[in-house]
Structure 1
Amino acid sequence: MDAVDPRSKNKQSFLESVLDTIQDGVFLLDHDLNILQVNRWMEEMYADSMPLVGKPCHVVLKNRHEDCQQCPCRRSIQMKRPHIEVLAIPNGATPNRWFEVSVTRFEGPVDRQVRAIGQVRDITERKQAERFLEEEISRRRILVEQSSDGIVVLEQNGKVLEANLEFAHMLGYSLEEVHELHVWDWDAQWNRQELLEMLRTIDERGDHFETRHRRKDGSLYDVEISTNGAVYRGQKLIFCVCRDISERVAERKKIEADLRLTRFSFDKASIGIFQTGEDARILDANPHACRLLGYDRQELCRMSLYDIEPGLSEVNRSDLWQQLIENGSVNFEAQLRCKDGTFIPVDIAAKLFEFEGERHSISFVQDLTEKKNHEKQEAVMEGHLRQAQRMEALGTLAGGIAHDFNNIIAAIYGYAELAQLRCPEKSKLRHYVEQITTASVRGKNLVQQILTFSRRGKTQKRIIDVSSVVEEALTLIRATFPSTIEIRQDISAGLGDVLADETQIHQVVMNLCANAYQAMGKDGGLLEMSLTAVTVGTYDSSCYPVISPGRYLKLVVADTGQGMERADMDRIFDPYFTTKKTGEGTGMGLSTVHGIVKDHGGSIKVYSQPGVGTTIQVFLPLSESAGQPSRADTASFSPGRGVILFVDDEAQLRDIGSELLEGLGYLVETRVDPMGTIEAFRLNPLKYDLLITDWTMPQMTGGKLARKVRKIRPDIPIILCTGLPAAIDDTDLKEVGVRHVLPKPVALNRLAAAVTKTLEDRPVNR
């Protein structure tokens, strides 16, 4: 046995110690690539394959039983370059582990048998990390490609580094085209400099915003962007996730438009709208509600409904709130207090709703002021209508009674006149008959007043003597007013005539006297009436109302009643205005007077003082043809000639008419009904010289009778007798050939004058 050099042995031992301290595996190869030596790491790692020394490298490292084709270890030795290879070494105690094997040609004095040195490093953890990273990258790439959002990675200069297919589809480009784009090629909201500044400032905390992108075809769409900045391999990258929110933005815009419309409707609504919380605090109010109550919105929002609804008791409030909770809505009327302290009637419709977990109510408030006023006016109008209907019914009844009574008066008056003709003058009998005639005239005047009251028809202005109308009205007033009222009159005669409607002037006098009576009341007082003629000059405006200069009749009605305040005097001519208690008047009396006087070209002046009384002056213009009213000629008449057809349904009036006319020398034929008259006239139309007919008869009126008779003989003259002369239209009378209208009862002298005048005026053609 050869002796071993101690120094060599020590070197070998030192080498082994050094190799064993290395944390990687180390092996030495000879010229045939067999293992000469391994360190402890290799022994431990390949414990199941021990011993390793003497085995070829391909057996130990690759578990191959033949040489490797183009052996990397041999090639490394030959080319004098290190060779590194990663191997999964299956044998040994730790299979399926990865090792990095490095083989380097060895040239040195240690041992000439050593041809190469190998190093084995366990890189299993690194390989596992790399595999995990690869899998993660693959998984993320799949997620990116499958994402419904567009994803793009930008360089800091704005150029696309990476993008998914969805991003390309969103822009309408191919993926290849997208990689050639910069961010300003598609962003439509900011310019290039603004975008570069945004890219510069985006960091790992990222940003979130909305913008608009431009497609390849130029169309725009809304996107939501989430960005993050990161540094990768020394380069700053910006990761962007882009979501198309066009539908969401459109829906949002629609909601915003709906909200604007709702707010616009809220602000422009023609009713008041209040939004309140559960504690009745006002949260919002529209402009109409503010105008309604006189507050501004800020003032109302510091108040509660109870501040503007003080009339509701706690019980009512509790009941209304309970109804609102149970039914979801409630409707009621209330009085709201305005800022100035006044109250207005309103209708409130409230609805309960829940918003963000809290109960609220919205109240729609309708101003009922106009409606209430209208209802009051309707009630007044209904009262006026009922009053008018009662007055119309009373007038109709009075007219019917007066008409019948007029026929009775006419009979009495007629027979009295006949008796008077046959009584010796200055005899007691004649005196008695004259008293009957006088009483009949008074009865006639009273009937005329009743008929005037009952008349309904068109205005008929004629030249009238106002003094006689006033006298007639006073006669009726004296008969109806209580004795507690003293009536004094100063009615001058011969003052002149006025172009007026007699009925309306009569109504003026009656209304003024009625107002005076009501002003004096039950305690009575003094009623004074005067009628005078005055001349109004250009400079008399301080003494007279605003009327044109000229001659006027001045009617004055004064009372000692309660008088009026100035505010009431300014409104006394307004329709339906009255200072009387409910049921005591309609407020139409003075309004009617004012309308009639104005229609006649006149004017009114009122003087009044509380506690003293009232004086009303009425001015009516005198007619230019002023003079004494026409009177029936009372002279004696010469005997007449001719045949008169006299028609009246009252037997007594036929007898009186027949006897009066026969007493004047005429032949008289009487008829009781219009139909018999027409038949008699048709048989011998030339027999008669004159037709005298009543107006109101059964079967037909005197006007219709006259028309039918004129069809048979157009030149027959006609005289009409009636108790209602004002109710007959003059135009109708002319059309049917009526020459005269005689009011019943007819005085002998007026009848004689009318007959004589009519027969004298007829054409001589017979």
Structure 2
Amino acid sequence: MIEPHSGCLFEGLFRLHLAVMLVLDPETLQVLDANDAALAFYGWTPGEIGFRGLGDICQDGPLCTLETLERCREGGGRVARCRHLAAGGEVRDVDIRISRIPSGERCVLFAVVSDVTALVRAENALRDSEERLRSICENTREGLFQVDLERRRYLWVNQAYARILGYESPGELLEAMEDPESQAWYSLEERERVMSVLLERGFLERHELRLRRRDGRAAWLSGSAWVVRGSGGEAARIEGVVEDITPRKRAEDERMLLATAVEQAAEGVAIVTGGSWLVEYANPAFGTVTGFERGEILGRDFFSLFGRGRQPLPSRDIREALLEGREWTGPVRDVKPGGQPLAAEAVFSPIRDATGRVGRAVVLLRDVSPLTRLENRLRRAQKLEAVGTLAGGIAHDFNNILTPILLNAEVGLQLVEQGDILRRPLEEIARAGGRARQLIRQVLVFSRQGDLRAERVDLAEIVREAARLLRERLPGNVALALDVDPESLPVLADPGLLHQVVVNLADNALHAMQEKGGVLGLRIMRRRGGCPEGAAESRQREGEHALLAVSDTGHGMDEALVERIFTPFFTTKRPGEGTGMGLSAVHGIIRSLGGGVRVESRLGEGSLFEVCLPLAGPVAPPGREPGGQRVLVVDAQAFSRRALAMILEGLGYKTTAMRDAAKALRVFARAPGRFRAVLAGEDLHGMSGRTFLKACRQAGRQSGLVLMADRDDEAQGRPAADAVVVKPVGAQALAQALDEALARAARRAGLATSSTE
């Protein structure tokens, strides 16, 4: 008990204070006194005060009591948070502050106890809440961030945000991101646009943007962000949550790329429903191949799109194959709605759903009309080749028969006098024989067995000369439209045969307009990049060409007639008006010159014949002086030998052409100095071109050696040849190869002379 001399004031403060107060023995921690608040808090009566100790009410165990004793000795004290047993047996959280106070000749411990149960519960709840929030932030797959707008730096990011941008941890990102504007944003323009909207509206929802990963690649994010303002209303920081949608964006790009590829594919693609066979999708090319508009295809039964031709699609076989999960492939031959032929290859492939059931089918329709046209042209060329071979053989035999007839007719004319009754029949025989000889010459030209004299001629001049002759005999109802390129267009050809080509094509056009008249067009121009598509038998596809176009506005031709116009002796003229060799001679002459002929014609609209000839190479420079120099040409193909000889003669060389490689090698070895150069094909009769040229080099080192390779692989021919030229051979390329080979041969000969000296 507190002594009475302590004073009434202290007694009143102690007894009536609302705080829980205890007076404790410093040696035993027994309760010496307790105020009213303490009695109420602990549920004691005044008579129990002397029988209670701090160890009885502290629920934290003996260690807590022992620590209080140790700290309170020698004038010390203790401030602690403990759990005390309160009234009703309830354990309460308290803050206890114990001080050592002198009281007369002795010291006591004065303790003030505060009930902090509610505060502890609040702190625990806050701690649990923070732990849950931390767990969510660290384990969520969405990235969370805070950005300080004043310093323009990240304040905080979670693990997911760091991982999205390619960092191992948030700490690594915060340390590395010294300038987020340039380091984090993939595009500064995009940043300015996003920040402008965000600061104006205060928030963004589900916005897609790109940030830069640590490795420099773009990361597509979808997220929401908001502005946190300070006490003065200023924008202090930005907080937000983002989701990595890079895989989704990549998948969308791939789907878009696939959709674009299918939409722009040259092959027709359609998707049909398995049960009803209705068309769900069709790309533009499918409409082009079938001849339908896209709107006419969608929602329609697939097999109803076909069936107008003689070979409709076998719908039953296709259905059975797809239902069994098999692919079906086959041709489609039909007629388009506009009447044009439809030629395609179809591939039907099953599409399975998640359960493995065939629910749809994808149809690939490839237009093979160009291939069909190429096949038709090939068959036509083969047919003409066969006819040419037959006609050439007959012509040679016919020449043998015609020769004695003409000779005997001339002898008879010399023996009979003028006015003799036999003279007129003999003259008719001679004239008929002359016409037969001209016809045989045309047949031999068609079959490429005649002797062709090739020289450098200006095609434009040939056409102008033919036009002057044509004007003199044009009917009154036909006009001539002449369009000739003013520049020279040199070609290697026989001028007489080239003139015959122009006249034959013009005569054909005039015949087509003899009833209604019209316009005869003659046009000549330079063409870069090869002959027009469809030019029959053209071997020179690259380089510059001369193009001769002869057109008319006559009755035109159908496809069946176009297929036959180059066949020898085929004619649409009445008996006595033509031999049927005019266009076939044109075809043979142009083929012999390495060119091609292309025909366009429509019934009632007229026809267009385009003749394409390779331009002659440049004139040999004065320094080379090829005149008198002889080139040995060795090739297995007779036509190739003739064509090469024509080109070389046009360049000013003399030629010796041979087929047999062994025989050619013997000729060369007997007099190697006779040949300034040797030109050999890759596959010769008896040995390879490389072997032949190696043997020629051993026989004579002063000749230039040129290999004509079948493919563009120059390295393979270099050890044997001084120059390599790839077939098909043009005049310019051949001239350059010869110049290179002759230069190498000259250097080789000079080195040999030096070593000898």
Shorter-normalised TM range: 0.3 to 0.5
Structure with larger RCO (C-alpha < 8 A, sep 6+): 1
TM-score (norm 2): 0.41
TM-score (norm 1): 0.40
